[in-house]
Amino acid sequence: MNPADPGVSELKFRDPARGRALSDTLARVTTEIGRAPVSIMHVCGSHEQAIARFGLRATLPRGLNVIMGPGCPVCITDVPEVDEGVVLARMGVRVATYGDMVKVPGTSLSLADAQAEGARIDVVYSVAHAVELARSIDEPLVFFATGFETTAVATAAAILDDPPPNFFVLSAHKYIPPVMEIVAEMPDTRVEGFLAAGHAATITGWGVFEPFVERHGIPVVVAGFEPLDILGGLVRLVELVRDRRATVENMFPRCVTKEGNLRAQEALWRVFRPIGGRWRGIAHVPNGNLRLRDAFAHVDARRRFDIDMRTLWDFAPAALTSECICGDIMAGIKSPHDCALFGKACVPGSPVGACMVSSEGTCRIWHQYGGHPDLGAPAERSSGGFCAR
C-alpha cells in the first residue's frame, strides 16, 4: 500500500489521533466564546450519519449544540408526494426507487405496505439502474426520484441520456439553499452558523452561500464527510462564530470550488425548475422543490398518469401522527428526546414519522447510534486487534 497513493491519503481523514486533536481544539474554541450553548446547524443527513457513526457526538463539547436541520431528503419528502408514489404502485404501475424511500409512511401507507399488497416496487442503487430496468421490460417504469440537488443531477443526466419511452420520473427532488433562509428566519432559531454539505456544494459551488451570509450575517463553512472533515469544519465554524465573522469558508477544497460543477448545474437546471412546495413538517419552502420542465413532459409521471389521491381516502391516518413532532425536529427546534413517541411507539420497526424511517433521519440515527450518549472517552485499545486491510 503506497502512502503517496491518494486513496491511501484519504485514509488520513480518518486518523484518530488528528481527530482527537481537533476535538480538543473544538472544545477549547467553544469555551473561548464564553457563553453557552453555541448552536450551529448542518443540513445534511450524511453529515449526521457520519457524526453518529464515528461517535463524534459523544466527544462534542457541552457548550456546543450541533443541530441537524432539514437535511434528510427522504424525511422531508412530503406526505402527498409519498402518496403519489403509493397511488401509482397501487394502480399497478411498476415503481423503482432508492432503498430508503420504501418504508416512508405517506398518509397511511408506505411503498412497502403497497408492496405487501402486491404492488411491484424495485429498489435501485442508481437512477441509471432504473433506466436499464425500463429498457428490459415493456411496461412503464416510474422512477420515484428523491434526494437533494446532488442526487437530482444524476436524475437529470439520466433524462438527458435518451431513456426508453417507457421510463418516467416522479420527481420529489429538493433544493437545499432556500431552506437555510427559512431556518435562519425562524423566530425560535438560535442558529449561529451553518455547516454546509460538501457533496451538494461540489455541484453548486460555495459561491451560492454568499448572498445568504450577507443577508443574515451567519457564517457558513462547507465541510466534507470524513471525521477529520467534519471536526475541521466545526472548528473553523466555531472560530468564525467566536470572531463574529460572517463569511463563507470552504473546508473541502479537494472537491468544492467557488463556481462548482458548471456542467452538472447546466444539466440540473435544463431538466428541472424550482417551485415552491411543502417540505414535511416545514410548511412552505419557496423554490425548494424541483419539478420537470415542460420540455420533458414526456418523461414526467405526473403528466403521463392520472394520479388520483382519493383512492387513499379509505384509509384512516394512524392515530399517533398527531403526536409526531418530526417537523420541529427537522427544523432543528426540538430533538428526538423531546418526543413522547421516540423509542417507544416510534421505532425503526414501526415508525410513526419520517425521521425514524430514513437512515438519514435524525430520529433513526439517534435511535441507532444513541443520540447524545454519555458514553465516556474512548478506551484503551484492546489487545490483539487485527484489521485485515
Partner 1 sequence: MCLGVPGKVISVDGWIAVVDFWGVRKQIRLDVVDEAVEPGDYILNHVGYAIRRIPTEDIAATLALYEELLRHAAQEDDLMATDVRGEIDGAGHEPR
Partner 2 sequence: MASVLDDRITLRYGAGGRAMRTLIREVLTAGLARDDGADEVGLAAMDDGAAIRVGDRWLVVTTDSHVIKPAFFPGGDIGRLAVSGTVNDLAMMGATDVLALTCAVVIEEGFAREDLVRIQRSIRDACAEAGAAIVTGDTKVMGRGEIDGIVLNTTGIALTDAVVRDCGLRAGDRLIVTGTLGDHGMAVMARRHGLELEADLRSDVAPINALIRAVLAAAPGAVVAMKDPTRGGVASALHEMAEKSGVGIVIDETALPVRAEVRAAAELLGIDPLHVANEGKAVLGVRPEAVDAVLAALRAQPLGEHAAVVGRCTADRVGAIVLDTGFGRRLVAEPEGELLPRIC
SS3 244: coil
| Residue at 167: amino acid letter | F
Which does residue 378 bind out of partner 1, partner 2, none, counting CB within 5 to 8 angstroms by kind?
partner 2
For residue 170, which of 46, 77, 103, 270 has the smallest C-alpha distance? 77
The site map against partner 2 for 329-348 (x = CB under 8 A) is: --------------xxx-xx
Distance CA 58, CA 66 (A): 12
* Cβ atoms of 209 and 248 closer than 8 Å: yes
CB atoms within 10 A of CB 202: 21
| Interface with partner 1 (CB under 8 A) | 6-7, 9-13, 18, 21-22, 25, 28-29, 32-37, 44-46, 49-50, 98, 125-129, 147, 150-151, 153-154, 156-157, 160-161, 190, 197, 199, 202-203, 224-226, 228-229, 232, 235-236, 239, 242-243, 251-255, 261-264, 267, 360
Among 39, 53, 186, 293, binds partner 2 (CB under 8 A): 53
**In angstroms, rounded to a whole number, what is the distance separating the alpha carbons of residues 193 and 180?**
11
Which residue's CB is nearer to partner 2, number 136 or number 306?
Answer: 136
Residue spans of beta strands (DSSP E) within 87-173: 94-98, 121-124, 141-145, 167-171
- End-to-end Cα distance, the chain: 10
Minimal CA–CA distance to 170: which of 289, 327, 287, 76?
289
Number of other residues whose CB lies within 10 A of the CB of residue 123? 14
Among 25, 108, 112, 293, binds partner 2 (CB under 8 A): 112
Residue choice 43, 67, 74, 203 for contact with partner 2 (CB under 8 A): 74
Residue 50 binds which of partner 2, partner 1, none (CB < 5-8 A, kind-dependent): partner 1
Reduced to 3 states (helix: H, G, I; strand: E, B; else coil), residue 384 is coil
Give the count of beta carbons closer than 10 Å to the beta carbon of residue 339: 23
The C-alpha cell 411543502 sits at: 278
Instruction: Mark 137-156 with x for binding to partner 2 (rule: CB under 8 A) and - for no binding.
Output: ---------xx---x-----
Nearer to partner 1, 112 or 124 (CB): 124
Q: For partner 2, give the closer residue by CB, 110 or 265.
A: 110
388 near partner 2, judged by CB under 8 A? yes
Interface positions with partner 2 (CB under 8 A)? 16, 19-20, 23, 49, 52-59, 73-74, 98-100, 102-103, 112, 116, 123, 125, 129, 146-147, 151, 227, 231, 343-345, 347-350, 359-360, 367-370, 373, 375-379, 381-389
